[in-house]
């Protein structure tokens, strides 16, 4: 089978060097582009950064419609194992559905993650269409896209303009399982979410904060952005808080 071409700018990336690593995970229908600016900031602060590209992303929405939850979680598992092997400690920073993948990873690997930073994490939705998710793929293969929910003009996370219904059904079922796993998550946790998010409800972050097993945790609310807070008006605050969280919990002597 011919390998699909990755869209220019949607490639995975590696930046910086050092004993402390930060694994960056983008969201559903998005691409590593959404995490690139944050990655560059963390690399400049002395971290070794890896931005992953989830299977089915950065190519075509039809490609994503052929993937399942085990493809995405398996890719994150592999990236984590490979990246962790070359570093003294590893933090995971994730956006949107990437947050669900990061929480699942942390729940299954207690003590192996130095800290989690979740940005507008998606683990639940209040969209009425969620009740039709199991049957929707039999009726239609895609819906209008939900990406690029960004208040700041001129930004593009290189997402799909369609929401693949088959993949979305797998994603929502996976999120339900992740919600049940939250008490197993004990890693230090920072969650940031905009009150004006149109894609992931703020209730998602509140639910995470209320149900994780972590005792070292903080929930920060933002007001000037929409969903993709790494590319919106609050991005400088997001970058700074992420860096400070990692610095305070790192044993690698970051400055």
- Clarify whether 156 is annotated catalytic: no
The one catalytic residue among 104, 149, 197, 234: 197
CB atoms within 10 A of CB 185: 24
Contact 50, 131 (CB under 8 A): no
CB atoms within 10 A of CB 252: 17
- This prediction has a pTM of 0.96
- Clarify whether 71 is annotated catalytic: no
- Clarify whether 227 is annotated catalytic: yes
The one catalytic residue among 87, 194, 227, 234: 227
The one catalytic residue among 73, 96, 204, 250: 96
Q: What is the Cα–Cα distance from 194 to 205, expressed in whole angstroms?
A: 10
Q: Which residues pair with 142 in a beta bridge?
A: 164
**In tens digits, what is the pLDDT along the chain, a chain of 255 residues?**
457 899 999 999 999 999 999 999 999 999 999 999 999 999 999 999 999 999 999 999 999 999 999 999 999 999 999 999 989 999 999 999 999 999 999 999 999 999 999 999 999 987 766 655 676 767 788 999 999 999 999 999 999 999 999 999 999 999 999 999 999 999 999 999 999 999 999 999 999 999 999 999 999 999 999 999 999 999 999 999 999 999 999 987 565
Tokens standing for 115? 């800290």
Contact 10, 219 (CB under 8 A): no
Burial class for 77, CB neighbours closer than 10 Å (0-12, 13-18, 19+): middle
Of residues 62, 118, 81, the one with CA closest to residue 242? 118
The 3-class SS string of 42-98 reads HHHCCCEEEECCCCCCCCCHHHHCCCCHHHHHHHHHHHHHHHHCCCCEEEEEEECHH
Contact 29, 61 (CB under 8 A): yes
């Amino acid at each position: 089978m011919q390998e699909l071409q990755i869209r220019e700018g949607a490639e995975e990336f590696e930046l910086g060097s050092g004993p402390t690593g930060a694994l960056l995970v983008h969201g559903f229908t998005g691409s590593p582009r959404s995490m690139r600016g944050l990655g560059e900031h963390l690399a400049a602060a002395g971290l070794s950064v890896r931005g992953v590209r989830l299977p089915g992303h950065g190519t075509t929405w039809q490609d994503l419609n052929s993937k399942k939850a085990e493809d995405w979680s398996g890719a994150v598992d592999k990236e984590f194992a490979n990246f962790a092997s070359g570093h003294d400690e590893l933090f995971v920073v994730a956006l949107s559905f990437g947050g669900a993948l990061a929480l699942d990873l942390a729940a299954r690997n207690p003590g192996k993650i130095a800290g989690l930073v979740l940005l507008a994490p998606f683990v639940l939705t209040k969209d009425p269409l969620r009740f039709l998710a199991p049957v929707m793929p039999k009726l239609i293969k895609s819906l209008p896209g939900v990406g690029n929910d960004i208040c700041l003009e001129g930004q593009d996370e290189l997402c799909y303009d369609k929401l693949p219904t088959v993949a979305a059904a797998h994603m929502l079922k996976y999120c339900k399982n992740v919600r049940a796993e939250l008490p197993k998550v004990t890693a230090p946790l920072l969650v940031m979410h905009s009150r004006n998010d149109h894609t992931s409800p703020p209730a998602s972050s509140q639910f995470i904060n209320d149900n994780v097993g972590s005792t070292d945790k903080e929930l920060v609310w933002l007001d000037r952005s929409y969903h993709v807070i790494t590319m919106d008006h609050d991005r400088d605050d997001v970058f700074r808080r992420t860096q400070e969280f990692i610095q305070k919990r790192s044993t690698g002597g970051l400055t």
